[in-house]
Structures are given as C-alpha cells and as structure tokens.
Structure 1
Amino acid sequence: MSNIHVLGNEAAQQTTVIMRVRALLESKAINGAQVAREIGVSPATISQILNDNYKADPGTVIEKLSAWLELRTQKLARPANPGFVMTQTAKQIMDDMTYAQISQSIAVIYGASGVGKSESLREYARNNPNVWLITASPCRSTLTECLYELAMELGMEQAPRLRGPLARAVRKRLVGTEGLIVIDEADHLDYPTLEELRILQEEVGIGLVLVGNNKIYTQLTGGRRNEDFARLFSRIAKRRGIHKTKQNDVRAIADAWGITGTAERELLNQISERPGGLRLLTKALKLSALYAKDEPITVPYLKAAFTELEGVE
C-alpha cells in the first residue's frame, strides 16, 4: 500500500506540472519552443509530454519542467523594475491633489528637484478621472501656448489658436467636469497665465495644482508679492514644500526592488542625497538590474551603475 501511495503522489505531481506548463502555453506567456530550449530538450519532446503520447518514461523531462517552473516563479517574484512606488512623499502629493479636486481649490507643490513630484503627478492622473496634466516650459509659458497645451490634453483637436476664442472654448469644455488641472514645471509661467488659470479655476469650479521648484512659491510670495500676486496668493488653499529626499522614501523604494542588505540600503541613501535625489536613485537601480541580470542587486552593481551615470572613470 505504501508503494502505491508514493506512486500515486508522483503521478499527481507530474500531472500538476504538466497542467501548469499547458496553462502557460495557452496564455501565450511563452511558447513550446522556448520551454524546450530552456530545459534542454527538443520541441517534439515537449509536445509529446503535454499531449500524453511520450513513449519513454516522462519522469526525467517532467523533473526538468518542475525545476524550470520553480526558477521562473522566483524570477517573476523578484521585482527587477517595480515601476511606480508609493512613497511617503507620493502619498502626501496625491492627498494634496485629491483635496484640490474635491474642494475645487488651488494647491501649490514646490521644492527640490528629484524628490518624486512629477512621477506622483503622472500616477495620480493615470488613476483618476478628469485629471489633465500638462508641463510648462519656456516655449509654453505664455497664456496662449499654455491654454493651447491644455486644450490638446482635453482632447480639443480643433481648438482655436487665438487667445480669446481659445479661452472661451476651454471654459466651455471644463464646465461641469469637476476635474483637476495640474501644471508641472509651473515656475515657467508668467503672471498673466497664472491669473488666467486662477480665473478659469473659479469660473468653472475645478481644482488647480501648480507644481514646480521654489521659484513658483517665490513668484507668489516673496519680493514680487504686489497687490496682483496677493490676489492670487490669497486663493491658494494648500501649500506643500518638499525640500529634500525623505529616508522613508528611500526605504520604500528599496523594499519595492527587493533590496534588503544593510550595505546596499546605506548606499541607496547616499545616492539619494546627491543632486537629483530619487530620480538618480531610480536610474541607478534600473542600470544595476541590467548589470545584475538574474542575480540580486548588490553594492558592486550599484557602485558600477552610479559611476556610469555620473560619468566618472
């Protein structure tokens, strides 16, 4: 009875392996030729095993398939690139954006470069309806160019290019949407553009988030805070200054990448303190993953990636 039980377990395990491989092939995640190549047998052997017409004892091949499935599971479990990571800073930014959208008010988020502002904006826009994100720049700093960029984001392909008709068309499109306009790099905007956005936000009842470096806040307060800027400043409901990378953010990113070693995490902290902060850190991790291939990301890989990014010989 004992031998029969053992044989029954082996047959059940072999059946499970075959079913898992069949499911992978049916999902188009991989094809039979790839599986055959990775375990070192012919495609015909794989086909015969899966179709239950393999003439010899399939035990050895199924053992290879079982080991291959285990290795594949481990590789997929290792987050080579986890994508967006919800850090403490990201959550704060998204909370501010949610508040601005729900309360139909203005929020200003400003501070150092590379702390995760832009990534957080994009993630919020991806996951929430009626959020329109545009990026200002030197050539999109004037009123007409900024409004036209917004019109394109709103899907207004036939928007007029003249300032007056353009402003009226954008207003008509936004009425009743209860949406959120987000302007990244808003420090490029001139005063007439900021004032037009303020009036637009009030008239159509939407949220507005202005994001940029410290200049955007200085622009609304500091030495240039005359009566006109005071009118705009008084309507800002929420302000968020982010002036350096948080260690909690670095820890969250390290966790997402599966990096647990003390030396590796300390090096990540050091990299995050360089100009560019989390942006540089993420680039270093991506390059480290390429260097490491299927191996864990360790200090030598991180140092090599950082050296390459910094251009140091």
Structure 2
Amino acid sequence: MTSQTIDLSSDIENQILESDKPNVDITRWETLKNRALDRMALRGVSLLQLAIETMPQDDGMRRNNNTVETWAACIEGWMKDGHKFREPGRYFNQQPLAEKIEAQIEEWLDTQDNEQNNKFGEPCFVATSVATNIIEKIHKARVMQDLIEIPSPPGHGKSSASVQYQLQCRKSEGFDAPVWIITLRETNLTLKILLLEMARAIYASGKSSDHVIEPDERMEVDMLEKSIERMATYHRGGVFIFDEANHLGRFIGITRSSGGTIANTLRTFIDRKLFGIALLSNGEMFQRARELKSIQITSRITCERPIKLTENDILLIMQSWGVSGKKELDWCVKMGMGEGGLRTLVKAFRNSLYDFGKINHDSLMFYKKA
C-alpha cells in the first residue's frame, strides 16, 4: 500500500512539473537550430563569433568580453535544450530570453542569405566519395574507440568532412554531442597545450560533474590528463578528430621530442577506452612511427588506405556549382586531380565568379595553373 502511494505521488508531481513547462514549438526550434548549425559549418563560424554577430544592442548593453561570453553561453544553452529560457521576462512586456535568441539568430540568417558568397550559390557541402569515406572512418574510430589515421592528399576535403560529421551528430544527438575537433598547428604542438585544448573541448560540452574544475593554463600536465579522464566518463562513446595530424607525424623523433610524447599520451587514452581518436593527415604519423620502429605507437594505430578523388567527385563538385560542358569538365579534371585537389578547383570557381560573374571554360582559362 505504501509503495502505491509513493508511485501515485510521483505521478502527480510529474504532471505538475509538466504543466509548468511553457508550450514550445519544438519543430520550429529544431529547424532554426539546424539552420544556424548549417551556416556556422559553411562559414566556419565559432560559437563566440556567432555571439558577437548576433548580440542584441537594443537594451543598451556594452559589448565587452563578459557580456559577449554570457550571450554565447545563452545561445549554447538554447541550442542544447529547446525548452530552456522560455520563462516570461521580469516585466509584462519583456519577451522570454529564448524568443530573443531566436529573433537575433533569424535576423543573422537572413543577413547571411544576402551575402555575396551566397549570391554566388556556393554549396554548403558536397558528399564526394572522399568526404563520405572520411566520415565513415571517423565514425569507425568513434564506435570502436580506436586510434585511426585517415590519410588523404591535401585539398581533398578532410576538414570539411570532419565539420560535416560533427554537424550531423549535433543535429541527431544534440549540440553537446561528444564530437570534438582540434586542428594541430605549430603553436599547439606541445603536450600541455594540446591537453589543455582537449580538456576545454570536453568541458564545453557541459555534461561534466559539478566537481570538475574548468581547465586553465595553470594546470600541469598530470592534472590536465586526470581532468580529461574524469570528464570523458560523462561522455562515453565520444571521438576526438585531430585535423592536420601530419604535423604530429613530422615531429616524432625529429625536432621536437614532444611529438612522440603526444602520440604516446594519445594512445593511453585509447588503452583506457575513454574516446576514439581520428587523425586526419597525409599519412605521415604511421609512416614516421614505423621508420622509428615505435611498436608502442604502430601497434595501436589503424592506418586506413589513402583516400583519393575520382573523376566522378570532380563532376559532383561541378554540378553543385552549376558548371557544365565538355571543355569545362576536361579543365576541371586536370585541375582537381592535380596538386591541391578540390581546394584549388573551388578557389578557381570562386575567383571566376568574382572576376567574371560566371564559370565557364573561357573564365577558367584565365587561371593557367592547370
């Protein structure tokens, strides 16, 4: 009898909580959120940049670091939960914060639609065989919680494929989907800086325990590593995507001993099955480790076969840009299959549109690089 009373009380309490929730058009929220995510992916816009470009000024707030970061946090919360910030404002004529966010983002999207790049009809994403293959391999690293190197020549679309994978996961799983992208470069090729970037990426997902301290540069390597391990337990099934991972391969055992240290640290995360790691590179990581007979690394890396463009991929890119014709196809195949791949081809398209207002054989012939 007691248990029935408890269950009944729980049901009543849940009904009361549900009745307190404001009515929300979740379909509209999801559509607007996905449109914003699409545009952010197309333009490479970060959450902070989106906050800067959408922050309202009608309330007289000064645009400084504190208010921009607060607005960014509000947008992030809104993207994670469509029911958030729906409470009425303090005054009778003050709209809920969620509605203000949506109004600002809609205005931003309308502005984007009128930008010069969009007048050119630049496509958001083209699912070439290379991009599809890269996305599949990233997902493999995530599902298997493995360390996988995904080699492909420069300009074949590795970066855009990784952004597209993250975008797909955010749409299907929520904005806090555990898919983190870090671009390796000269300035972050030290163990501490890289661990700090990883810790901050996980922390920003927002599912960590209240006992987790926000990572900062004052934390030492061992503390950062422990922080990553602790936070990763709240994000099981995640994946880190390291773009430009060829930088890491170049420095293993050569000019920076930290290259080997970073590689060894990454593989310990895999050993503990904390998350998967996808290394987007030109193939240097595995090759360099094999040359140095680093069994600790080579035995843990799955190096996929190099992914290369096909002529059909070139045709898909042409179609997405509205380019056709036999001469145009021959020129584009020669350009796209050469050094720089799709990056060089798309750059020629964009310059052709800017300089001549069209893309045809005559306008493309202006670029003699082919």
- The TM-score with structure 2 as length reference comes to 0.56
Taking a change above 3 Å as real, the CA distance of residues 216 and 291 of structure 1, as seen in their structure-2 partners, is same
1:151 aligned to which of 199, 205, 208: 199
Name the count of aligned residue pairs.
225
Q: What's 1:164 paired with?
A: 222
Please give the alpha-carbon distance, in whole angstroms, between the structure 1 residues aligned to 2:226 and 2:292. 29
CA deviations over 1:80-136 (Å, ceiling 9, x no partner):
211221100011111111111112112111242111112211211222221101011
Please give the alpha-carbon distance, in whole angstroms, between the structure 2 residues aligned to 1:100 and 1:79. 36
Please give the alpha-carbon distance, in whole angstroms, between the structure 1 residues aligned to 2:274 and 2:305. 22
1:233 aligned to which of 295, 298, 314: 298
Q: What's 1:303 paired with?
A: 365
Structural mapping, 1:1-12, within 5 Å = none
Please give the alpha-carbon distance, in whole angstroms, between the structure 2 residues aligned to 1:246 and 1:161. 47
Task: Report whether the alignment pairs 1:187 with 2:251.
Answer: no
Of all paired residues, the percent bearing the same amino acid is 26
Q: Contact 1:90–1:116 (CA<8 Å) still a contact in 2?
A: yes
Give the deviation of 1:260 after TM superposition.
2.0
CA deviations over 1:139-190 (Å, ceiling 9, x no partner):
2112111111212322455435311111111111111411001111223221
Task: Report whether the alignment pairs 1:248 with 2:316.
Answer: no
Q: Contact 1:110–1:217 (CA<8 Å) still a contact in 2?
A: no
Please give the alpha-carbon distance, in whole angstroms, between the structure 1 residues aligned to 2:201 and 2:350. 30
CA deviations over 1:180-230 (Å, ceiling 9, x no partner):
011112232211101111111232432111121232221232x212xxx21
Q: Contact 1:108–1:236 (CA<8 Å) still a contact in 2?
A: yes
**Greater Cα offset, 167-176 or 88-97:** 167-176
Gap regions ≥5 residues in structure 2 = 1-117, 170-176, 205-213, 249-258
Bigger relative contact order, structure 1 or 2 (CA pairs below 8 A, ≥6 apart): 1
Q: What's 1:127 paired with?
A: 168
Q: Secondary structure at the match of 1:260?
A: coil
Q: What's 1:219 paired with?
A: 288
Task: Report whether the alignment pairs 1:271 with 2:340.
Answer: no
Paired residue type of 1:276: G
Q: Contact 2:286–2:298 (CA<8 Å) still a contact in 1?
A: no
RMSD: 2.3
CA deviations over 1:220-248 (Å, ceiling 9, x no partner):
32x212xxx21222223451313x53222
Q: What's 1:24 paired with?
A: none
Please give the alpha-carbon distance, in whole angstroms, between the structure 2 residues aligned to 1:283 and 1:97. 26
Q: Contact 1:78–1:258 (CA<8 Å) still a contact in 2?
A: no
Q: Secondary structure at the match of 1:154?
A: helix
Q: Contact 1:80–1:289 (CA<8 Å) still a contact in 2?
A: no
Paired residue type of 2:227: A
Q: What's 2:9 paired with?
A: none
Please give the alpha-carbon distance, in whole angstroms, between the structure 1 residues aligned to 2:311 and 2:202. 37
Paired residue type of 2:361: V
Q: What's 1:41 paired with?
A: none
Give the deviation of 1:78 after TM superposition.
9.2
Gap regions ≥5 residues in structure 1 = 1-76
Taking a change above 3 Å as real, the CA distance of residues 118 and 198 of structure 1, as seen in their structure-2 partners, is same
- Segments of 4+ in structure 1 off by > 4 A? none
Please give the alpha-carbon distance, in whole angstroms, between the structure 2 residues aligned to 1:272 and 1:253. 10
Q: What's 1:13 paired with?
A: none
- For the pair shown, the structure with the greater C-alpha radius of gyration is 1
Task: Report whether the alignment pairs 1:117 with 2:123.
Answer: no
Please give the alpha-carbon distance, in whole angstroms, between the structure 2 residues aligned to 1:302 and 1:217. 38
Please give the alpha-carbon distance, in whole angstroms, between the structure 1 residues aligned to 2:298 and 2:286. 9
